[in-house]
Amino acid sequence: MWKTGAEAALLALYMDVFLFTHLASGSFPRAQDVTWTSTNFKTLLTWGPKPSEDYSYTVEYAAIGQNRDQNPHCIRSKETSCDLSSSLSQLNKTYIAEVLSEPPRGVSSDLVEFPHTTSERFCPYQDTDIAKPDFKIKEGRDKRSVTLDVVDQLTALFEGDRQLTIRDVFADELQYRVTYRRATSTGKKVVNSKSKTIEMTGLDQDQSYCFEVQVFIPSRKGDKQLGALSTPQCSKGKKPFTDVYSVPVIAGGLFLILAVVAIIVITVVCCKRRSNKAKNNEKEGQPLSSVLEAGIGHVRHSAEVEVVPEAQDQVQTGGPRQPISEVRHGPLLEGGVGGERDSAPVRQDGEAERRRWGERDTHARAHTHTM
């Protein structure tokens, strides 16, 4: 009987402990999706889900073959991430981490081992991602070279009070890879440089080139050798006219020029026509009498030129006189003015000329007779 009672008591105690452990463990969910996230040695361990009020998370980490350690900011925390940048001080070592589900701060538990989830292995030197670098472009005077000045990025690591750059960490292994192309082409070329000041020579003169820069660590493996690509930057070059102005802008400019030329031509033609019309109106409004007087004056001038020398010769030689009426008179006016309508004024002028020459002839004869 005693043995039977003792066995029953032990069995009951065992069941109580088993049930308590099972219930306690069941109230603390395991962390899920434990992941390393690291850029420029800023290293975070992240997981989920967000804990309830009944439990919290604690992070433990260790280099392979070494003792575990804890970050004081990641003990029984309600957060789902832990910054281990300064904790993983041996950059070339490989680390593992565990996220434990534990009671909240101030709450005790009789559990010996809490639910936990282990991360993948992580080596800061080999696995941290390198962000895209910044750089400046300086074009050469010969327009056939370009200098790229790359800025060595800062890391999350410190040596005393000095913040380290990626060159401080990688030293001689740090290189920069430049991928470049002509702005109007899709073909790319690649150049590696150990210096942060990179001379790009042998470029086509006055051509625009586009450049992208990324960190290159040859000692790394796989896709970890290359950092992120920088934002592309292009040299100025000498852009074609069609690149500076779009097709609609060019078409609009040509249309405007043609419109201005057309307006100028139309204005000149209209002014010329108006001037010619005014001259024609002035001629049409001139009185007929003034036209006739101008014609008669022309006849008089012609008669004097043709008759006077002839008459003088006749007076000196005593030969017969040629009648003034036989002098040929040309047209008085251009356009056919003359004829019968103008014969009367011409006859009157002829009679006056005859009388003058008669008087001269009589005087000449008297003078000859006296001699």
Q: Is residue 369 part of a domain?
A: no
pLDDT in tens, 81-100: 999 999 999 999 999 999 99
Q: How confident is residue 247, by pLDDT bands cut at 50, 70 and 90?
A: confident
Q: What's the domain range around 303?
A: 289-333
Q: Is residue 313 part of a domain?
A: yes
Q: What is the mean pLDDT of residues 186-201?
A: 96
Do 159 and 269 share a domain, yes or no?
no
Q: How confident is residue 281, by pLDDT bands cut at 50, 70 and 90?
A: confident
Which tokens hold the place of 334? 């251009």
97 has which bridge partners? 61
Q: Whole-prediction pTM value?
A: 0.59
pLDDT: is 296 or 173 the higher one?
173
Q: Is residue 116 part of a domain?
A: yes
Which one, of 306, 308, 311, 352, lies nearest residue 330 by Cα? 306
Q: What's residue 175's pLDDT?
A: 98
Rounded Cα distance between 188 and 180, Å, is 6
* Count of Cβ atoms closer than 10 Å to residue 306 Cβ: 14
φ, ψ for residue 280 (rounded to 5)? Answer: -65, -40
* Count of Cβ atoms closer than 10 Å to residue 66 Cβ: 11
pLDDT in tens, 161-172: 999 999 999 999
What domain count does the chain have?
4
Rg (CA), the chain: 59
63 has which bridge partners? 95
pLDDT: is 253 or 64 the higher one?
64
User: Which of 116-130, 197-211, 261-275 comes out lowest in average pLDDT?
Assistant: 261-275
Is the model's pLDDT at 246 over the cut of 90?
no
Kind and range of the H or E run holding 137? strand 135-139
Q: What's residue 152's pLDDT?
A: 97
Q: Is residue 80 part of a domain?
A: yes
The most distant pair of C-alpha atoms in the chain lies apart, rounded to whole Å, by 213
Q: Is residue 220 part of a domain?
A: yes
Is the model's pLDDT at 331 over the cut of 50?
no
Rounded Cα distance between 205 and 187, Å, is 18
Do 194 and 259 share a domain, yes or no?
no
**What letter represents residue 10's amino acid?**
L
Q: Is residue 360 part of a domain?
A: no
Is the model's pLDDT at 66 over the cut of 60?
yes
In sequence order, which ranges of 220-342 are alpha helices (DSSP H)? 241-244, 247-284, 288-317
Do 263 and 302 share a domain, yes or no?
no
Residues 73, 74, 76, 77, CA torsion sign: positive
Q: What is the mean pLDDT of residues 277-297?
A: 62
